[in-house]
Amino acid sequence: MMVGIDLVDLSDPLLKPRDERALRLISHPADHFPDHPLRFWHLWTAKEAVFKAYREIIPFDPKKIDITISQEGNHLTFQSNNLRGSIFQEQSVIYAVAYSEDRPYHHQILKRKTSSPSAEVRTMLIQYIKLNYDEETIISADEKGLPVLSHQWLPISFTHHHDYLGFMLPTPQ
């Protein structure tokens, strides 16, 4: 099971505006996406979620990941090879989740409360597992050094930017 999540907080005062010209910096020739004022961030978050789902130890290069984004009403979905996913926007946050199978998954996005988002999101995930599955777990690393939950060796994905953080994991069995 492969899962990946990424977010961008548009309220970050250091975030540079991205226009049509910036798309060339991240676009793959096979990319397809609807015209939208925030299409750069839709494409960026989808590509980074896909990159995280592949769990490879290589530098992130969005130009090497092809994405097809579809829009049905207000709902955005995407496909990239064997992965699919969704793109969401809540307040100032755009986030994307990517997954490889129909197995249920869970993701959560919350406003940051501490000055240590990496530690905070890990604590949040451990509390979620304890509360919902009455399971004690720790965050370990797989053979590549990427995060997994120790109790079922489940791959997990983390994200944080500015005031928000989140995680994604396959639903434990």
pLDDT tens per residue, range 121-145: 999 999 999 999 999 999 999 999 9
Backbone angles phi, psi at 2, to 5 degrees: -115, 130
Q: How many domains does the chain have?
A: 1
Does 103 score more than 90 pLDDT?
Answer: no
What percentage of the chain reaches a pLDDT higher than 70?
100
Q: Longest Cα pair distance anywhere in the chain, in angstroms?
A: 49
- Beta strand spans in 81-125 (E): 83-90, 93-99, 105-111
Q: If DSSP codes are grouped into helix, strand and coil, which group holds residue 165? A: strand
